[in-house]
Amino acid sequence: MAKRLTEEMVIARTKISDLSKIKRLNCWGSELVDVSLLRRIPNVEVLSLSINKINSLADFQFCKRLEELYIRQNDIRDINQVVYLQNLPNLKNLWLGENPCSNFDGYRLAVIKTLPQLQKLDNVAITQEELRDAQRRGKNLCHPDDVQDESEEDYQPSPPPQYNRYQEYSETEYSPVQSRSPRQEQSPSRRQEQRRSYSPEEQVYVERRRNSFEREPSRQAAQYYEKLSSTTNSFEEQQSSDTQTTYRESKITTSQSASCIKSNTSILSLTTILSKRPCINEK
């Protein structure tokens, strides 16, 4: 439940029972959300409500004699809430920093332009040059009530569609009973394909296929080298056999030539001997 500022709390802090006579009120760090009681304290001049959970400045517009307002570290998000303080002519010091609205781009110039009566903003003095710059470049803020009314006017709920149960719809027109799109029909199968593609069995099969492909080139290379070595050995054996055959043939030829030479030599020697013997008739 939201914590609210009560009359008992105010009397305990100020020691004054008449709320209209209160000039200063300090409720720092009390986790307050609802401060609507300020409407009954019109003559307050200094309010210290920092480190609470206040989200609106609407209740401060009834404090017509307010001079100093310390409301840092609260939950004021809309920068347009500053417009609620426009009708406080005596307001000189405003500490609004460390609220979500202070992160607004151009926050300082917008606040100074909206509240030109300020002399200090967020504990920093406002110079005349800064005031002129704010009047020239500062953003114009809108009253929160006007912004809410405009948003309500812009919002027009569309009537729900009405269907005629006897109307015939063509294929291109919209009908209450409409078949699902092909994309929706294919989505389950696509998901199944994705699931199958990531199944561990197929992953193992892919790894086995990969290993078999890696082993196959090595197998083929081994077979190729084995065949090449066998071919080389057969060629060397054939070459050596041819060499031995040629050597035998040459040896036989040489032996035949030697025998022929020997026979010719013996014939010549016999002929010489016969030619040297004297003839019998001559004796």
pLDDT digits (tens, 9 = 90+) for 218-274: 566 666 666 666 665 555 556 555 556 555 665 566 666 566 566 666 666 666 666
Q: Quick one: pLDDT at residue 145? A: 84
Is the confidence at residue 191, as pLDDT, over 90?
no
Block residue for tokens 């092909």 = 182
Q: What's the mean per-residue pLDDT of the chain? A: 75
Q: How far apart are CA 81 and CA 146, in angstroms?
A: 11
CA distances from 171 to 34, 161, 163, 181 (A): 58, 19, 16, 13
Domain boundaries, the chain: 7-143
Cα angle 196, 202, 204 (rounded to 5 degrees) comes to 150
Q: How far apart are CA 178 and CA 172, in angstroms?
A: 11
pLDDT digits (tens, 9 = 90+) for 141-185: 998 888 665 555 544 555 555 545 445 544 444 444 444 444 444
Is the confidence at residue 283, as pLDDT, over 50?
no
pLDDT digits (tens, 9 = 90+) for 59-96: 999 999 999 999 999 999 999 999 999 999 999 999 99
Q: What is the largest CA-CA distance in the chain?
A: 202
Is the confidence at residue 282, as pLDDT, over 50?
no
Q: What letter represents residue 18's amino acid?
A: D
Q: Quick one: pLDDT at residue 73? A: 95
CATH of domain 7-143: 3.80.10.10
Q: How many Cα atoms are found within 13 Å in the side-chain-facing hemisphere of 228? A: 6
pLDDT digits (tens, 9 = 90+) for 2-29: 689 999 999 999 999 999 999 999 998 9
pTM of the model: 0.53
H or E element in which residue 103 lies: none
CA distances from 234 to 48, 117, 227, 243, 246 (A): 111, 115, 11, 14, 18
Q: Which residue has the higher pLDDT, 9 or 278?
A: 9
| Contact residues for 74 (Cβ-Cβ < 8 A; gap 6+) | 49, 50, 51, 52, 53, 54, 55, 99
CA-CA-CA-CA torsion sign (211, 212, 217, 219): positive
